[in-house]
Amino acid sequence: MPFKFIHITDTHLANPGLKLYGLDPRTRLDAAIADVNKHQADAAFAVVTGDLTHWGEPESYANFAEAMSALKVPYIAMVGNHDKRVACLDGLKAAPRDPNGFVQGTRTTEHGLFVFLDTLDETSHAGEMCAKRFDWLAKTLSAAPADQPFVVFMHHPPFPVGVHAMDEIALKQSAEFAAVIAPYRARIRHLFFGHVHRPIFGSYGKIPFSTLRGTNHQVWFELDANAADHLASHEPPAYGVVLIDDDNLVVHSHDFLDTSLRFPFDPPAGVDGRDYALNFPAR
């Protein structure tokens, strides 16, 4: 069986009972957790790639921690641009901490070293990696055994994804990031990030990457840099199910609130297959 973990991003919890953009982020996170528990409880762990809360209050982190306590697998909590670093570290034991107090850390798995990065700048929605964070990253990668692969997680993408409004608030130090990881690119199996609230998959140089819709609201698909408005949407939320073996890494994006009709491809006994397919009863 391949190694499995769960990717969740952009939960945007508010204080208990409050809605965000007309939706209840706690209810939707609860639904995601219930779905993981029911269908993916054999996962090794889950990674939440930032924007755990929307305004960063201690009460919102307590709300997040309470929701996540129902998850049957361990989890790692990262920070995004809507988070507050101290409140996150004070409120969540699942948040890693490096020697400089940033929300960074690693986890060794049978398929490589998983590296979790802090790209939070509390003065901007754009991503930030300062000299201390880059130094930690460089030392972490260089200290790994020469044959050990890496899987990297961050909130902000370190390159443009084509959604102009989100590209404006991507990682500011994209060139510096590229320089630090340059000696290790061939060993990075995958890059996971959040922030853009879109299902996007591709390659960053030769590094495969993926990101997902959040569990509450989404960013509307708009590639026109001259579009008048930066729009959010109520597109379906999702979480990722990631399967890894020695040769492959597969990311499934699962719309866990989808209630569309499910049906067998094969007709019941005694029903002509063509009639079954062409005259399937409307719902």
User: Residue 45 and residue 212: Cα distance in Å, rounded?
Assistant: 17
Confidence of residue 77 (pLDDT cuts 50, 70, 90): very high
Whether 215 contacts 176, CB under 8 Å: no
- pLDDT at residue 283, as a whole number: 57
In the chain, which ranges are E strands? 3-8, 46-48, 75-77, 105-109, 112-116, 150-153, 188-192, 200-204, 207-211, 218-219, 232-233, 239-244, 249-254
Using an 8 Å Cβ cutoff, are 63 and 55 in contact? no
pLDDT band at 79 (very low <50, low <70, confident <90, very high): very high
* Mean pLDDT value across residues 96-117: 98
Region 24-31: what's the mean pLDDT?
A: 98
Region 77-81: what's the mean pLDDT?
98
Tell me what pLDDT residue 282 has.
65
pTM of the model: 0.96
CA distances from 150 to 6, 13, 112 (A): 17, 30, 5
Residue with tokens 């320089």: 179
State both tokens at 230: 């930066």
The arithmetic mean of pLDDT across residues 198-220, rounded, is 98
CA–centroid distance for 161 within its chain: 15
Amino acid 251 reads: V
Q: What is the pLDDT of residues 252-266, one digit of tens each?
A: 999 999 999 999 999
Give me the sign of the Cα torsion angle 245, 246, 248, 251. Answer: positive
144 — pLDDT class (breaks 50, 70, 90): very high
pLDDT digits (tens, 9 = 90+) for 153-199: 999 999 999 999 999 999 999 999 999 999 999 999 999 999 999 99
CA distances from 207 to 50, 84, 138, 154 (A): 21, 29, 17, 14
Q: pLDDT for 217-233, tens place per residue?
A: 999 999 999 988 999 99
Among 274, 267, 169, 167, residue whose Cα is nearest residue 225: 167
- C-beta separation of 156 from 171 below 8 A: yes
For all residues of the chain together, what is the average pLDDT? 97
Every domain of the chain and the residues it spans? 3-278
CA dist 163 and 151 (Å) reads 24
> Would you say residue 37 has pLDDT above 60?
yes
Element spanning 14, H or E: none
| Contact indicator for 41, 89 with CB cutoff of 8 Å | no
> For a pLDDT cut of 90, what percent of the chain falls above it?
93
pLDDT band at residue 281 using 50, 70 and 90 as cut-offs:
confident
**Topology of the domain comprising 3-278:** Purple Acid Phosphatase; chain A, domain 2 (3.60.21)
**Exposure of 156 in the CB half-sphere (CA atoms within 13 A):** 27
